[in-house]
Amino acid sequence: MGSVYDFTIKNAKGESISLGDYRGKVLLIVNTASECGYTPQYAGLEKLHQAYFEGGLRVLGFPCNQFGGQEPGSDSEIQKFCELKFHTTFPIFAKIDVNGEHSDPLFTYLRKELPGLLGTEGIKWNFTKFLIDRNGKPIKRFAPKDTPETLTSDIERAITGNPKKGGNQ
């Protein structure tokens, strides 16, 4: 695969969506969970989505139940939770695995393109974030503890076309 645009994902209704639909946009891809200590980051992700939408940023949430069983709900329950509690308007897709044998191919690609700390490919916890440039190339990986508010300079560089490649997880 050459870029994230080569992948097809499922929305919360089970419909196939091509990431090619986001061609030319800067993406922030995040594995999420509703019962995690980092769950309040949904509010910050929504603020980023609102603040940089006009500039071309699209935040994409991917619920995952692989870390402490912190995303036990169905896709429709997750949607309702995000909309009611955090007023999210960015897309929350179908629940997926981000590690292991059943890892979603998108996350397998992201882990290989931007390994974490000490070159480990595995995702350690919920709210790991991947910044994707307008060409569909992963340019930076952020740890779960990196709050959305701390990503603004990297997002602005990606929007303006002057990103720094790297990872810090």
pLDDT tens figures, 60-106 = 999 999 999 999 999 999 999 999 999 999 999 999 999 999 999 99
Residue 26 contacts residue 159 (beta carbons within 8 Å)? yes
Count of structural domains within the chain: 1
Task: Provide the domain limits for residue 106.
Answer: 4-167
Residue 130 has a pLDDT of: 97
Report the CATH number that the domain containing residue 10 is assigned in CATH: 3.40.30.10
Q: Which residue has the tokens 């919920």?
A: 126
Residue 163 has a pLDDT of: 54
Residue 169 has a pLDDT of: 45
Residue 6 has a pLDDT of: 95
Which residues, listed in sequence order, are joined to residue 60 by a DSSP beta bridge? Answer: 29
- Which residues belong to the active site? 36
Is the whole-model pTM more than 0.75? yes
Extract the residue ranges of the chain whose pLDDT is less than 50. Answer: 167-169
CB neighbours of residue 77 within 10 Å: 15
